[in-house]
Structure 1
């Protein structure tokens, strides 16, 4: 009997290893800077982070990709059900086989995952935000839990670090929303608070017509300043972390700031042209982040 149990355990471990490899491959294919960070992570940390990113990537696809139009809500609900079934029923997807092991090994809380899912579900139901507070609440669930989970995977459970991470992750989310303004508008989503539109006497109709005037530039500059302020509030996070996470977080911070620089360089006109960071830009950022190790 002992031999059979050992064989069963070995088979389960093999399945879990394959599940982690699935997550790693997905991360390599879908996250621009992730493969760079992979080289510096310890093997166990690498697979745990990959499981987290794969969970997020697939949920994000359900919320955004055209192929899931008409089934977004159902797919996200099923994704959430599979998550909450971990530990209660055998996982049916490799992401959950890997994630289940990660949750167990690291004693990660489930609430951050629930917050992330709630943000994706909100994307399917809420397409406008009345106030800055509403928008930041969205960021609180869409981005901040990711940073906290990455810190926990690396062994950090310090509330002060969590607060710095929250600022940085919210800033990254706001910068990404600026970058994707045109794309989101085509999906009938607008992440500029209605109160800001009113403050600058600029309308959604103006946005849809691509009206770029001083009112538009002032409106976008306000969003830009909001993100920039949060980046500044979170800039000390890398200094409080050990290698290699300090480098990875510094690279993310530099990437976010570079994106804002690109938006500024465009004269805040992110309607006519999408701000983007090239592979060459990323190479420079990687070297800059390493230089500050």
Structure 2
């Protein structure tokens, strides 16, 4: 199919609409943040998010190694210029035609999903951070060409933001992940804080558990703060949206603290009211 470069986003508007519905359904936080972008940039984020969501669902919902391999093969076809006839790929073709996208982080993200299919509990915090890069830091790199005119200058802080968000996910989902047979807490940290699988099984929220949780939360907060180094290199029309996403996601950590670290009985979310407060506060301070 020959691309009409001038009108490709308009030609693919139905594909982008499907991607927008995906992010609206699965990540209200990201949608609240990135829907503030100019239309083409917002649509591009929706398409990238959809790729990540499809991969995530193959692993978490379907646990299907064959489907994940098929997604790898579709990505290879896409890279070679043979675009699969699917809304996600058609939308991504428009994104790649508009922005100087790098295909490598898309492959890295799928490598991270393969790590989940063949899950092994990380031994150290460094192993956890390596994993966090593949499943989330890679996403930061996917987004950079849409958000920044000079993406290669801010690769490290973009990785750090993705890693911070993934650590936040892990700290929010300890109970849910345990029920799925996964423990992302590093073995050396569990040993240091004398936390065993029995504590997780019995849902014991002890002082030691809180101290372990806080050690990782402080690591995440440090990564969030270090990721702010990228902000001067983010396009003016994207800066508020990116900061909104960062602040909303980071807010999950104090939200869990306010709920006394009860990560077993509920999945913590940032309320719509609090999201609006954070977004408005950012607008006042910019």
Q: TM-score, normalised by structure 2?
A: 0.89
Whether 1:231 and 2:231 are equivalent positions in the alignment is no
SS at match of 1:130: coil
Task: State how far apart, in whole Å, the 2-side matches of 1:273 and 1:25 are.
Answer: 25
Match of 1:197 in 2: 190
Match of 1:218 in 2: 211
Off by >6 Å, runs of 4+ in structure 1? none
Matching of residues 13-162 of structure 1 within 5 Å: 16-65=12-61, 68-69=62-63, 72-86=64-78, 87-162=80-155
Match of 2:275 in 1: 282
**1:101-135 CA deviation, whole Å, 9 max, x = no partner?**
32233241211000111111111111411111110
Task: State how far apart, in whole Å, the 1-side matches of 2:241 and 2:121 are.
Answer: 33
Which stretch of structure 1 is more off in the superposition, 73-82 or 24-33?
24-33
SS at match of 2:82: coil
Task: State how far apart, in whole Å, the 1-side matches of 2:178 and 2:19 are.
Answer: 31
Give the superposition deviation at 1:290.
Answer: 1.7
Give the superposition deviation at 1:291.
Answer: 1.6
Which stretch of structure 1 is more off in the superposition, 23-32 or 165-174?
23-32
1:121 to 1:15, Cα distance in 2 relative to 1, 3 A: farther
- The structure that has the greater radius of gyration is 1
**1:216-247 CA deviation, whole Å, 9 max, x = no partner?**
12221211121122122223433443333211
SS at match of 2:28: coil
Please, what is the CA RMSD of the aligned residues? 2.5
> Contact 1:238–1:247 (CA<8 Å) still a contact in 2?
no
Task: State how far apart, in whole Å, the 1-side matches of 2:148 and 2:223 are.
Answer: 24
Give the aligned length.
283
Whether 1:178 and 2:171 are equivalent positions in the alignment is yes
> Contact 1:235–1:253 (CA<8 Å) still a contact in 2?
no
1:257 to 1:39, Cα distance in 2 relative to 1, 3 A: closer
Give the superposition deviation at 1:44.
Answer: 2.2
Bigger relative CO (Cα 8 Å, ≥ 6 apart): 2
Match of 2:258 in 1: 265
> Contact 1:23–1:50 (CA<8 Å) still a contact in 2?
yes
233, 246, 263: which one aligns with 2:239: 246
